[in-house]
Amino acid sequence: MGTVIKNGTIITAGDTVQADLLIDGEQIALIGRNLPVEGHEVIDATGKLLLPGGIDVHTHLELPFGGTLSSDDFFTGQRAAAFGGTTSHIDFAIQPKGGSLKEGVDIWHKKAEGKACIDYGFHVAITDLRPEVMDEIPALIDEGIPSIKLFMAYKGVLQVDDTTLFRSMAKAGEHGMLTMVHAENGDVIAELTAAALARGETAPIYHAKTRPSIVEGEATGRAVALAGVAGAPLYVVHMTCVEALEQLALGRARGFPVMGETCTQYMFIFEEDLGKPGFEGAKYVCSPPMRTPEDAEALWGALADGALQVVSTDHCPFWFEGGVAGRLPGKELGKVSFDKIPNGVPGIEDRMAVMWRHGVNGGHFSANRFVELMSTNPAKIFGLYPRKGTLAVGSDADIVIWDPEKSHTISAKTHHMNTDYNIYEGMTVQGWPDRVLLRGRTIVDGDRWLGSEGSGHFLHRCPHAAVI
Residues contributing to the site for ligand URP (CB under 6 A): 60, 182, 286-287, 314, 316, 343-344
Shortest distance, position 29 Cβ to Zn ion, whole Å: 37
Which 8-state DSSP code applies to residue 159?
Answer: B
* CA quadruple 329, 332, 336, 340: dihedral, nearest 10: 60
Do the Cβ atoms of 51 and 8 come closer than 8 Å?
no
Kindly tell me which of 20 and 72 has the beta carbon lying closer to ligand URP: 72
Number of continuous H segments (helices) and E segments (strands) in the chain: 13, 19
Chosen from ligand URP, Zn ion, none, partner binding at 115 (C-beta under 5 to 8 Å by type): none
Task: Provide the pairing of β-strand 399-409 with 428-438.
Answer: antiparallel
The amino acid at residue 12 is: T
Q: Which partner in ligand URP, Zn ion, none is near 286 (CB below 5 to 8 A by kind)?
A: ligand URP
Q: Is the CB of 314 or the CB of 420 nearer to Zn ion?
A: 314
Within 13 Å, how many C-alpha atoms sit on residue 283's CB side? 23
Q: Cβ 402 to Zn ion, closest distance in Å? A: 27
Give strand pairing partners of 400.
51, 436
Output phi, psi for 437, to 5 deg: -115, 135
CA-CA distance, 208 to 132, in Å (whole number)? Answer: 38
Which phi and psi (to 5°) does residue 313 adopt? Answer: -115, -25
- Say whether residue 91 binds Zn ion (CB under 5 A): no
Q: Which of 433, 242, 270 is nearest to 356 (CA)?
A: 433
- Interacting stretch for Zn ion, rule CB under 5 A, among 182-190, 216-224, 241-249, 438-446? 182-190
From candidates 89, 123, 171, 182, binder to Zn ion by CB under 5 A? 182
Q: Which is nearer to ligand URP, 284 or 356 (CB)?
A: 284
Shortest distance (Å) from residue 60 CB to ligand URP:
5
Residue 77's binding partner out of ligand URP, Zn ion, none, with CB under 5 to 8 Å set by partner kind: none
For Zn ion, which stretch binds (CB under 5 A), given 37-45, 70-78, 314-322, 428-436? Answer: 314-322
CA atoms of 52 and 41, how far apart (whole Å): 20
- Which of ligand URP, Zn ion, none lies near 344, with the C-beta cut-off 5 to 8 A by kind? ligand URP
96 DSSP 8-state letter: P
Q: Give the residue closest to Zn ion by C-beta.
A: 182
User: In angstroms, what is the minimal distance from the CB of 149 to ligand URP?
Assistant: 9
Query: Minimum distance between the CB of residue 171 and Zn ion, rounded to whole angstroms?
Result: 21
The CA distance from 76 to 322, in Å, is 17
CB 377 to Zn ion: min, Å: 18
Least CB distance to Zn ion at residue 121 (A):
15
* Contacts with Zn ion, residue ranges (CB under 5 A): 182, 314
